[in-house]
């Protein structure tokens, strides 16, 4: 009994000891597992931190590469030629004007007459001292074909040192207004051409007129007349007009203009805005036309509008008063007519020419120098001063004074000079002499033309 009791105690102690060992082993394994998990977590955290560090470094490396790349690209662009658009070429006419003196520029605005059959001291002064832009000849200058050629060649020679060639102009309308030597076969009046009313005939008339004047050495013709002969009492237009309707004058006048242009002679259409419905000769007095703008637009202006649309390069302004447009100034001195109507409303961008400033319509009302300044201020480019050396000098000196006292700006002068130079360049005007006059060949052409259309 006692032995069994001791044996039981031993068994209990043994079991307790075994349980304790098992418990210790179990607890130790769990602790080791926790430590293993902790170490794994630590390793994972370390790995994550290392990855993050590597990623940041990589990003920094990428930023550095991009910065370096931009720097290298910038350096390459600096080394390469500029890829910007090239500057447009400089305007040669503006460049030419910038090198001209004020005296040279003002001279270009003056188209003057000369005296006699030969070049004289006054002609020399006008060309070499005052640097005029053009010379017009009249009956007083034209004796025969050879003399005319010789005179024009002599005037061209006087201009040899000037960089800008001269206009050489004449009034050659045919019929009653003709400056051609007697050796040429006479041409019919515009009125007679109007009765034929054939566009081709008018074109050929324009072409043969251009050939006539060009063979003598001229390059500019103050024609054709685009006035509508609507007033039978008109003392100055009459048979110089192609007819009494806008349709006939437009048709034949424009054909004549195109014929002249085909021979590279500058046609100057006249007398804007229409001298047909007047009863006073502007050579002796100032005509008044009372029509309003609506009437002018529907009638007198029609041939001019069509001429502008078809490329007219020069327009002459009439010495007529239009009180409905400007009660204070004749058309040739009127901003309302020249700038507002002709340039802005009719969009004419060519050369505006005054009628002769020595005509009665002007000199009976104005000092000629004052008239010249007023005309340029109104928008005129070329001033015709056809008679008397002193008149031309007075005009030039008045223009110089007007710029000096700022009545006219030099910019305003430059605008006209630009248009004048552009016209000379467009028609390839030169001062080359004419070697011989082709009267015989031109006469044969005129005779054939007249035989065909007005036998």
207 and 260 Cβ atoms separated by less than 8 Å: yes
218 and 209 Cβ atoms separated by less than 8 Å: no
Residue with tokens 């390069």: 313
CA distances from 220 to 7, 158, 381 (A): 155, 19, 15
Per the structure block, which two tokens stand in for 380? Answer: 């005129």
Calculate ∠ Cα 19-21-26, nearest 5°: 90
416 and 343 Cβ atoms separated by less than 8 Å: no
Per the structure block, which two tokens stand in for 125? Answer: 């002064």
Per the structure block, which two tokens stand in for 13? Answer: 């102690």
DSSP of 109-151, one letter per residue?
Answer: TEEEE--SSS--HHHHIIIIIS--SEEE--GGG-SSHHHHHHH
Per the structure block, which two tokens stand in for 423? Answer: 């016209």
From 283, 297, 340, 414, the catalytic residue: 283
132 and 112 Cβ atoms separated by less than 8 Å: yes
102 and 413 Cβ atoms separated by less than 8 Å: yes
Cα 428 to chain centroid distance, Å, stands at 17
Beta carbons within 10 angstroms of residue 5's beta carbon: 9
Q: Which phi and psi (to 5°) does residue 333 adopt?
A: -120, 10
Tell me whether residue 283 is one of the annotated catalytic residues. Answer: yes
Provide CB contacts within 8 A for 80, sequence distance 6+: none
The C-alpha atoms of residue 448 and residue 442 are separated, in whole angstroms, by: 10
From 171, 227, 313, 355, the catalytic residue: 355
Per the structure block, which two tokens stand in for 93? Answer: 């006419």
Half-sphere exposure of 357 (CA within 13 A, CB side): 33
Beta bridge partners of 98: none
Half-sphere exposure of 370 (CA within 13 A, CB side): 7
The three-state (H, E, C) secondary structure of 243-307, written as one string? CCCHHHHHHHHHHHHHHHHHCCCEEEEEEECCCCCCCCCCCCCCCECCCCHHHHHHCCCHHHHHH
The C-alpha atoms of residue 269 and residue 131 are separated, in whole angstroms, by: 25
Catalytic residues: 283, 355
């Amino acid at each position: 009994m006692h032995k069994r009791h001791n044996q039981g105690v031993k068994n209990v102690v043994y079991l307790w000891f075994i349980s304790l060992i098992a418990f210790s082993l179990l607890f130790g394994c769990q602790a080791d597992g926790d430590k293993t998990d902790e170490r794994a977590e630590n390793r994972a955290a370390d790995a994550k931190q290392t990855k993050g560090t590597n990623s940041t470094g990589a990003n920094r490396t990428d930023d550095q590469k991009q910065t370096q790349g931009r720097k290298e690209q910038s350096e390459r662009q600096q080394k390469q030629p500029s890829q910007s658009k090239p500057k447009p070429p400089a305007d040669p006419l503006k460049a030419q004007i910038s090198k001209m003196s004020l005296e040279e520029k003002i001279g270009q605005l003056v188209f003057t007459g000369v005296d006699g059959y030969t070049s004289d001291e006054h002609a020399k002064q006008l060309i070499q001292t005052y640097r005029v832009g053009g010379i017009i000849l009249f009956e007083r200058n034209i004796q025969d074909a050879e003399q005319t050629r010789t005179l024009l060649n002599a005037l061209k020679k006087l201009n040899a040192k000037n960089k800008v060639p001269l206009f050489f102009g004449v009034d050659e309308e045919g019929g009653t207004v003709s400056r051609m030597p007697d050796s040429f076969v006479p041409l019919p009046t515009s009125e007679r051409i109007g009765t034929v009313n054939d566009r081709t005939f008018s074109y050929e008339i324009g072409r043969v007129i251009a050939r006539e004047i060009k063979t003598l050495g001229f390059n500019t013709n103050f024609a054709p007349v685009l006035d509508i002969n609507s007033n039978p009492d008109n003392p100055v237009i009459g048979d110089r007009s192609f007819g009494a309707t806008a349709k006939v004058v437009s048709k034949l006048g424009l054909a004549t203009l195109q014929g002249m242009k085909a021979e590279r002679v500058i046609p100057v259409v006249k007398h804007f805005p229409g001298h047909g419905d007047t009863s006073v000769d502007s050579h002796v007095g100032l005509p008044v036309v009372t029509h309003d703008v609506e009437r002018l637009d529907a009638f007198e202006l029609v041939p001019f509008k069509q001429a502008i649309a078809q490329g007219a390069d020069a327009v002459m302004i009439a010495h007529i008063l239009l009180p409905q447009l400007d009660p204070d100034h004749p058309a040739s001195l009127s901003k309302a007519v020249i700038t507002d109507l002709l340039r802005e409303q009719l969009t004419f961008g060519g050369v505006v020419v005054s009628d002769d400033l020595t005509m009665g319509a002007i000199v009976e009302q104005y000092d000629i120098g004052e008239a010249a300044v007023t005309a340029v201020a109104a928008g005129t480019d070329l001033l015709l001063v056809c008679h008397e050396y002193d008149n031309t000098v007075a005009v030039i000196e008045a223009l110089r004074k007007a710029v000096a006292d700022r009545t006219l700006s030099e910019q305003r002068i430059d605008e006209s000079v630009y248009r004048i130079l552009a016209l000379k360049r467009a028609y390839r005007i030169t001062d080359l002499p004419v070697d011989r006059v082709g009267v015989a060949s031109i006469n044969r052409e005129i005779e054939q033309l007249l035989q065909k259309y007005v036998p």
